[in-house]
Amino acid sequence: MTLANDAPLSRYRTMRRIRTFEERVGELFLKGESAGSMLHLSIGEEAVVGLTDHMKTGDTFTTHHRGHGIFLARGADPMRMLAEIAGREAGYCRGKGGSMHIADRGLGHLGANAIVGGGIPHIVGAGITARNTANQAISVAFFGDGAMSQGILYEAMNMAALWKLPVVFCCINNQYGMGTRVDRSAGKQAFPARAEAFGLNAVRADGADVETVHNDTQAVMEGARDGHPGFVEIDAYRFHGHARMDKSPYRTPEEEAAGRDRDPLIMARTTLDDEAALNTIDAEVTEEMDAAMAGAIAAPVPATDTMFQDVYDPTTPAPQPQRARLASVLEELN
């Protein structure tokens, strides 16, 4: 196997980058350098790379609040991502978006969203644009199993089917919506069947095996480019709690051990069976993420007078500090 040309090795590299990046996000929090504590790690969900590998330049997507890995898989700069999570000026949104609101239209990222299912309808609009311009682009909404109970998903799937839009709805089912196990929130867990009822091509893929995900999602992704919208469920397991400070007391140690046995990186290493190449990748990724971490921490924080930039229309007068407003009111009273 060669590092440059072998697709499975390339997918392993991307998964390793995601895993190591998320570990650095946790370290950023422990160092007191993150802008807030609501950090949702995607460790255990790395096999989504099997689907993102079918995406092309010009494709667009939205993510949920556990979307760091998806954006990395689509070409994001890890230093700029860590800088954003650290609230630094060098971040993708100049430190104002933080972990759950990273976006970059240049890479097709139409935005992460902390509202469950909030990014799903955006791809319907993107799909209309792609269809009307006939540019062969597709748009993908990534969301968790919690969004399978949101009405907006079913409205969006119906519209996509009705208008034959080049879109794919991808549910990364990590078994938990916050602390609620999926079998306690879904009366019937046959999620692809729900999408098929609207006329979408649908498939469920084993999230422990990136190559299975890649092979099983190919037809759905290709069909979307021809105007046949699709739905993908990736069956994964969330290794850590809902957010950085959640110790997941609602799960037994036995359950967590069984879930971690489905580690997609271990599965990939076993399948590839090329210890030297894999160790080289691991070392290179560690060096890359260490440098990204150092760069993010060293980056300056945004200047105070930029607080309201990119928040209001540029022609809107800047808000006055409270002290200045109070002085103005008192002056009028006198």
Residue 216 CB contacts under 8 Å (≥ 6 apart), including other chains: 50, 203, 204, 205, 206
Over the stretch 66-84, which tens digit does the pLDDT of each residue have?
A: 999 999 999 999 999 999 9
* Position 2 in a domain: no
The whole-angstrom distance between residue 257's C-alpha and the CA centroid of its chain comes to 24
Q: What pLDDT score was predicted for residue 73? A: 97
Query: What CA–CA distance (Å, rounded) separates 221 from 56?
Result: 11
CATH of the domain at 177: 3.40.50.970
* Position 252 in a domain: yes
Which residues span the domain enclosing 153? 7-333
Query: What CA–CA distance (Å, rounded) separates 180 from 48?
Result: 22
**pTM listed for this prediction:** 0.90
Q: Is the per-residue pLDDT at 1 higher than 60?
A: no
Over the stretch 189-203, which tens digit does the pLDDT of each residue have?
A: 889 999 999 999 999
Residue in this structure with the two tokens 């930029």, named with its chain if needed:
306
Percentages of the chain per state (helix, strand, coil), in multiples of 5: 45, 10, 40
Residue 49 CB contacts under 8 Å (≥ 6 apart), including other chains: 11, 14, 15, 18, 69, 73, 210, 213, 214
- The share of the chain scoring above pLDDT 70, in percent, equals 98
* Position 82 in a domain: yes
* Position 313 in a domain: yes
Domain count, the chain: 1
**pLDDT, the chain, mean:** 91
Over the stretch 269-303, which tens digit does the pLDDT of each residue have?
A: 999 989 999 999 999 999 999 999 999 999 999 98
* Position 1 in a domain: no
- The share of the chain scoring above pLDDT 90, in percent, equals 69
* Position 168 in a domain: yes
* Position 157 in a domain: yes
* Position 327 in a domain: yes
Minimal CA–CA distance to 101: which of 56, 71, 145? 71
